[in-house]
Amino acid sequence: MEYVYKTSGTCSQEMIIEVEEDIIKKVTIIGGCKGNTAGISKLVEGMKIEEVIKKLKGTPCGTRGTSCPDQLAKALEEIKEKQK
């Protein structure tokens, strides 16, 4: 299933996340630091949703209080809620 998440407080604007059951198949991040967002996307492919949330939730970017990794964790939390 594909989910679209509008980010908040980051340079990225949107995340398109494809999941199959509890596994992340693909993440596309629109906007943000291209190398960092591409790297994050590749790293999380094939991982379980809960594992990524645990690793990325709360990661800051400067003084923003959030980051692209943190926003990805928030998006994945929403996906888990929708799957219930």
Q: What is the rounded CA–CA span in Å between residue 39 and residue 45?
A: 10
Domain count, the chain: 1
Q: Which domain holds residue 30?
A: 2-83
Q: What is the CATH number for 46?
A: 3.90.1010.10
The amino acid present at 56, given as its one-letter code, is L
pLDDT, tens digit, for every residue of 12-52? 999 999 999 999 999 999 999 999 999 999 999 999 999 99
* pLDDT of the residue at 84: 82
pLDDT of residue 13: 97
Asked if 45 and 26 count as a contact pair (C-beta separation under 8 A), the reply is: yes
Task: Dump pLDDT digits (tens) for 42-69.
Answer: 999 999 999 999 999 999 998 989 999 9
